[in-house]
Structure 1
Amino acid sequence: MEIMYFMIGLSLLMAVGFLIAFIWSIKTGQQDDLITPSMRILLEEKEYKNNK
């Protein structure tokens, strides 16, 4: 039964950690543009050659 208290406490600490990480990512703008990075790989960029 003691292991249950330990596991519940550990899971609550992990949940709080993930919540803090999520709030940090929102505040720093990590979630602002979710479409462009996934489309960037599909769009071809023009290749420029250096004529030196």
Structure 2
Amino acid sequence: MDSIFLLVPIVIFFVACAVKLFFWAVNSGQYDDLETEGRRILFDEDEPRRPKEGEQSRCSSGEDDAGESR
């Protein structure tokens, strides 16, 4: 019985924190658009990725896909 006096306030604290985090997520826009991210992964990008400055692409290094020199 003594443990209930300790556990009930702890549970109330955790529930209050969970409710506060939920309302924070809703107010900050976490749930505004649920469909775009699910669809974005299904489609390729329109433009291929460009190598950053200083990087060489695999094709320009003189090797083909099998790793053999030309």
- With structure 1 as the length reference, what TM-score do the two structures score? 0.74
CA distance in 2 between counterparts of 1:23 and 1:49 reads 38
Structure 1 residues 11-30: aligned runs within 5 Å: 11-30=11-30
Instruction: Describe how 1:1-52 pairs up with structure 2 within 5 A.
Output: 1-48=1-48, 50=50
TM-score by length of 2: 0.59
Instruction: Give the fraction of aligned pairs with identical amino acids, expressed as a percent.
Output: 28
- Match of 1:46, SS? coil
The count of corresponding residues between Structure 1 and Structure 2 is 50
Consecutive unaligned residues of structure 1, counting only runs of 5 or more, are none
Query: Greater Rg, structure 1 or structure 2?
Result: 2
Structural RMSD (CA): 1.7
In terms of fraction of residues, the more helix-rich structure is 1
For structure 2, list consecutive stretches of 5 or more residues without a partner in the other structure. 51-70
